Structure 1
Amino acid sequence: MDHSTSGTRGWASVPWPVAAQATLHCLTGCAIGEVLGMVVGTALGLHGAATVALSVALAFVFGYALTMRGVLRAGVGFRQALRVALAADTVSIAVMEIVDNGLMVGIPGAMDAGLSSVLFWGSLAVSLAIAFVVTVPVNRWMIGRGRGHAVVHAYHHAG
């Protein structure tokens, strides 16, 4: 499939499962960083804003790292792999983090609930699920325009 087409026809021709798979890849890195950041921030008793900042930073680090891992395996140098990861994942991770953290902050008591609380873990799970649903159409549009995950598509089967 050619993911480099642009315009309405380009994004509309991208199958939903392709966009969902790209988003799932993004969600994996985001979730690792998000959960780690929320757990560390909550365990250390950090203010909500500091916990969110830590979670967002770690989501980007793990999201980029997962993308780079596959690109590096395809034989691309570190600097180019970093450029590919930045081009491929920045918008997707940003959308996912805005939605996810916006919901975590917006759910009453979720940020202060503590690690042993069903409210904390339930809110985190729901916020990640909603972020996934919101980000799938974003990734579909970007892939159809030759952006986002389409940038790394050439490296998936290389190496």
Structure 2
Amino acid sequence: MTDHSALGDHGDHSGYLSQAPGGPGLWSQAISATLHCLTGCAIGEVLGLAIGAALGLSNLATIVLAVLLAFVFGYALTIAPVLRAGLPLGAALGVAFAADTVSISVMEIIDNAIVLVVPGAMDAGLASWLFWGSLVFALAVAFVVTVPVNRWLIARGKGHAVVHQFHH
């Protein structure tokens, strides 16, 4: 468990933790956090899969590249505003890791598993509707699966609830 006490007063995370357990506000926050995650994952996935396909990398190498880039872009989207809020880089990295690791991991497992099981999707090439259609479908399913995960994390003061205090 990461200790974020050095990051300052967390307050009550108004809008996150103060929501009723089944309230619509908590679902709204989870959807917002998942969209944030989806943005970083999609940038990394598209870039990684496109680079892998263009260079003729193996499916495994392409997926590894896409996953690495998804984490890089996912974390970068969290780190940038946290740095602007005045946190030093080390603390900002800690916030990003705490906020996004579970969400990105779930999203990456789901979307890559789907792309792998769609027959021919990985070998279809960048000009193919099969390639792009399977990727869009995979990211959509990953989003749907990840929203309740993020809701669960936020309700417990974890995940994106950690970064909420730095959004202005």
Distance 2:77 2:26 in 1: 23
- 1:50-65 pair list within 5 angstroms: 50-65=61-76
Q: Is the 8 A contact 2:41 2:73 kept in 1?
A: yes
2 CA distance for matches of 1:76 and 1:11? 31
Select the structure with the greater relative contact order (CA < 8 A; seq sep ≥ 6): 1
Q: 1:3 aligns with which of 16, 19, 26?
A: 16
Q: Which residue of 1 aligns with 2:135?
A: 124
1:54-95 Cα deviation digits (max 9, x unpaired): 000000000000000010010111110000000000000000
Which runs of 4 or more aligned residues in structure 1 lie more than 4 Å from their structure 2 counterparts after TM superposition? none
Match of 2:26 in 1: 15
Question: What SS does the aligned partner of 1:3 have?
Answer: coil
Q: Could you tell me whether the CA contact under 8 Å between 1:11 and 1:145 is conserved in 2?
A: no
1:114 aligns with 2:117: no
Unaligned stretches of 5+ in structure 2? 1-13
1:17 deviates by 1.4
Cα RMSD (Å): 1.4
For residue 97 of structure 1, what is the amino acid of its counterpart? E
Q: 1:12 to 1:119 in 2, by over 3 A?
A: same
Shift of 1:18: 1.0
CA distance in 2, matches of 1:18, 1:65: 20
CA separation in 1, counterparts of 2:21 and 2:149? 10
Q: Which amino acid aligns with 1:96?
A: M
For structure 1, which runs of at least 5 residues remain unmatched after alignment? Answer: none
Instruction: Return the structure number with greater helix share.
Output: 1
Matches within 5 A, 1:21-60: 21-60=32-71
The two structures have a TM-score, normalised by structure 1, of 0.92
The answer to whether structure 1 residue 66 and structure 2 residue 77 are counterparts is: yes
TM-score (norm 2): 0.88
2:123 and 2:95 map into 1 onto residues whose CA distance is 37
**Number of equivalences:** 154
Q: Is the 8 A contact 1:110 1:119 kept in 2?
A: yes
Counterparts of 2:124 and 2:74 in 1: how far apart (Å)? Answer: 26
Identity between Structure 1 and Structure 2 (%):
64
1:26 maps to amino acid: C
Query: Secondary structure of 1:116's partner?
Result: coil
What letter corresponds to residue 149 of structure 1 in structure 2? H
SS at match of 1:40: helix
